[in-house]
Chain A
C-alpha cells in the first residue's frame, strides 16, 4: 500500500510539473505542460468519440508524427487521453443519435437511444459519464497495483517466453476478431510478413524492398495504420448514403433520479470488474469489455425484461466496462511491451519514436514517465467528467457538422502527418496503397485489426524466434520445456481449439451478430 502511494506521488509530481517550452522560436517558462497535454488528449478523445466515422486508431496515427516534437511524457499522456476520452464521447452519440460514435459504444445504442426517446437522455448521459468516471478511477488503481509485480515477472522472460506470449497475443486477437476465424489468422500472418519488409537486422540484407531505397527502413507503422483505418474509414463512410437522424431534443435534467441511482450502482460495479479483467487480456480492450458487460448484465439483472426498451443497466454496465477496459489494456503494454490491440500497437510506435523501448524495464528506468502516465489517467478522467456533464451541450452542437465538411479536414491531417514522417511523397503513396488494401479487405470481410497487430509484432517475433533457436541449438522443443512459455502455448492451443468447437463458435457468432 505504501509503495502505491509513493509511486502515485511520483506520478502526480510529474503530471503537475512546470517546465519551459519552446513554441515557434519563443520560450515560455513555467508551463504545466503535461497537464495541458492531458487536457488536449481528452478533448481530442471526446471530439473523435462524439464524431462517428473517425476512431482513436486513425487519430493517434495522425498525431504520431506530431509527437516527435513533444517530450516523451507529454506525448504519451496525450495519446492515452485520446483512447479513454473516446470512450466517454462515444456514448453521447450512441444515446442521442443511435449511431455508435465509437465502436465500443455499439451496445450503448440499444438501451441508451431508447432512454433518449423516452425523454430520459439526460440521465442516460449522466449514468454513462458517472459510470465511466468510477471505472476510470478503479482501473487506474488496478494498473498501479498490478503493473509492478507483472513487470518483475516479465524481467525474467527469455526469448522463449516472449515468443510464446506473442503467439498467445495474436491468437487472442484472432479469436476476438469479427467473422471468420481462418481469415483472421490469414490477416495476422499477412501482417507479420508485411512487418518484415526492410533491412533484416541480423544479416543486413534488404528484404522485399523491390530495390526501393524508401523501403530500406521498412514500411512505416503509421502509414499502414492510416491507410487501413483512416483512408479506408473515409471511403466506407462516403459510400454510405448520408442522412443521419439526429436526436436534437433539448437535453434537460441530467441528474439521475433516486430510483436510477438504486438501479445503476451494481451494474457499474460489475461492468468495472469485468471490463478491467477483459482489458488486461491480450487481444482485449474497450470493445470486448463493453460487449461482455452488456451480455453479463442482461443475464444477471432483475430487470432483464426491460433490456432493449431503455433499461438504465444497459447503459451503466457497458459504459463503465469500456472505460475500464481501455485503461487496463495499458497493463500488458507497460509491463511486457506487448500491445493487446491496435491502439496499444500505436502507443508502442509512439514510445519508439521517443527512443523508449517498451518493456518491463521502463518502470525501473523511467519511473517518472511510467507513473506520470498512470496518474494522468486519473486526472484525465476528472477532466472528462467535467467535459461531458456540464459541457454536454457543446458536443451535441458538434453532432450537427455534416460529414462533407469533416472528411476533407481529416484528409489534410492524414496527408500532412504521413508526409512529415520522412518528408517524401512515397509514404503518402504507400498510405493510399494500404487504403486500397484495407478497403478490399473490409469488403471481403477480412478485419484489418489483426493485420495491424501482426505488423507490429512481425520483426519482434522473428528476432525472438531466432535468438531462442540459436540458444537452444535448434531444438524447437525448448519452447515447451520452459514452464511459462509452455503455459502460453498451451493457452493459445486451448483458445483456438475452444473457438473451433461448434457450440462455442455459434456463441461467438451470436455475440458478433448482436452488434449488427
Chain B
C-alpha cells in the first residue's frame, strides 16, 4: 500500500491519537487492558449524566468526535487523487526522530530523579542532546531544534545563572539556527539585548528576575 496523501495520512493519525488520549484520560483505560495488566492502569474521572455532567463527560464526548474526524481524514488520504507538490509533505524529521527526542527527555529526567539532582538540569541536558542530534543527523531540522533548544536553555538557566547569562545563551543558540552565523554581529546583538532586557524588564517593569548567577554574592547591578 502506498500513502497517496501523506499530509492527510499523518494529520488523521495525529487527530486520532489526540482524541484517543483524551477519551482514555477522561474515562480511564478500558477494562480488558486493565485485566491484562492485572490492575487499573489509569483511572478516569466521573462521567455523570446528561443532567449532571461529571468532569469526564464533555472531554470524553469531544475526544470521541476527534477520533471519528481523524479516522475520516485518515481514510480519505488513502483514496486521495491529488498528486504532486500539493500532497508532498515537507518535514525535516520523522516520527521516529520525535520518539527519540521524547525518550531523551524521559530518560534523562528519570536519571536526575534517581540521583536526586534537580530536574531542571535534566531538561538542559536533554535540550543540548536534542540540538546536537539535530545538527549531526538532521541538518534540515537545525532551525527548529535550535529555536526550541534556545528557549529551553533560557528558561532553565534563568534562575541558576541569572538574566544576563541566560540571554547570552538564548541569543547564541538561537542564532545557530539561522542561515549564517556571524560572530561579531551576534556578539553585538547579544550585548544590546542584554542591556535592553536588564533595563526594561528588571528595572522598568520590575520583573523579579535574578540578574547575576546565584553563586555571585555581590551583584554589581540590582
Contact = CB atoms under 8 A, between A and B. Distances in A.
A97 to B, nearest CB: 19
A183 B11 contact: yes
Main secondary structure of the interface of A (DSSP, over half): helix
A429 B69 contact: no
A470 interface: yes
A193 B66 contact: yes
Interface in B55-70: 55, 58-59, 62-63, 65-66, 69-70
Contacts of B49: 474
A469 B159 CA distance: 47
B132 interface: no
Contacts, number: 187
Tell me which of A186, A403, A409 has the highest count of chain B C-beta atoms within 10 A of its own C-beta: A186
B166 to A, nearest CB: 8
A55 to B, nearest CB: 17
Tell me which of A66, A432, A439 has the highest count of chain B C-beta atoms within 10 A of its own C-beta: A432
Main secondary structure of the interface of B (DSSP, over half): helix
B198 to A, nearest CB: 11
Interface residues of A, number: 66
Given A238-B177, A238-B178, A193 B147 contact: no
Interface stretch (A196-204, A315-323, A346-354, A485-493): A196-204
A5 interface: no
Interface in A197-239: 200, 202-203, 205, 207-208, 231, 234-235, 238-239
Given A23-B204, A69-B206, A189 B69 contact: yes
Interface in B1-25: 7-8, 10-11, 14-15, 18-19, 22, 25
B148 A432 contact: yes
B207 A420 contact: yes
Interface stretch (A123-131, A247-255, A332-340, A410-418): A410-418
A47 interface: no
Interface of B: 7-8, 10-11, 14-15, 18-19, 22, 25-26, 45-46, 49-55, 58-59, 62-63, 65-66, 69-70, 72-73, 76, 89-92, 120, 123, 143-144, 147-148, 150-152, 154-156, 158-159, 167, 170-171, 174-175, 177-180, 185-186, 189-190, 193, 197, 201, 203-209
Interface of A: 23-24, 66, 69, 180, 182-183, 185-186, 189-190, 192-193, 196, 200, 202-203, 205, 207-208, 231, 234-235, 238-239, 241-242, 403-405, 407-409, 411-412, 414-416, 418-420, 423, 425-429, 431-432, 435-436, 439-440, 443-446, 461-462, 465-466, 469-470, 473-474, 476
8 contacts: A189-B65, A200-B55, A203-B55, A208-B25, A238-B179, A408-B190, A411-B151, A415-B170
Given A407-B174, A425-B123, A425-B159, 12 more contacts: A180-B8, A183-B11, A207-B55, A208-B25, A414-B151, A425-B156, A435-B151, A436-B148, A439-B144, A446-B11, A461-B58, A470-B52
